[in-house]
Amino acid sequence: MNLLLNVLWFVFGGFAAGLGWLVGALVLAITIVGLPWAPAALRIGLLAFAPFGREAVPKALGQGQSVSGLLNVIWFVFAGWYIALAHVIVGLALAVTLIGIPFALQHLKLAALALAPVGKTLRP
């Protein structure tokens, strides 16, 4: 079931969402200032291509939590809140239809991740 939902997601918008995140990761990697956030944007981009059956979880304790917290605060102020808002708006639009509800839930998952992406890892 996850494979079918991921294929539908990819065809009907997941490619655009993932590509947007990957372009953002590339721009962050090119700028020296954005380099700490580039891996997080890359992880979200990979998740955005096929989000069904995968989730982002915090890394194990002791792996730079204080630095991750500071980077997440800076990310939230300069980028996270409006990227998350865009995912929420698309999710609400998808939730209007019965067929769009699973896709809306994935956009809400991406919105929550967009608020604080540093210090997360993906798992099935």
What's residue 63's pLDDT? 58
Tell me the mean pLDDT in the region 92-106.
91
Domain boundaries, the chain: 2-123
Confidence of residue 14 (pLDDT cuts 50, 70, 90): confident
Give 106: exposed, middle or buried? Use CB within 10 Å, 0-12, 13-18, 19+: buried
> What rounded mean pLDDT belongs to the chain?
88
Cα 117 to Cα 56: distance, rounded to the nearest angstrom:
9
Question: Residues 34-84: pLDDT tens digits?
Answer: 898 999 999 999 999 989 988 888 877 665 567 788 888 999 999 889 999
C-alpha distance from residue 65 to each of 59, 91, 93 (Å): 9, 30, 35
What's residue 12's pLDDT? 86
SS3 content of the chain, % helix, strand, coil (to 5): 75, 5, 20
> Residue 91's Cα: distance from chain center in Å?
13
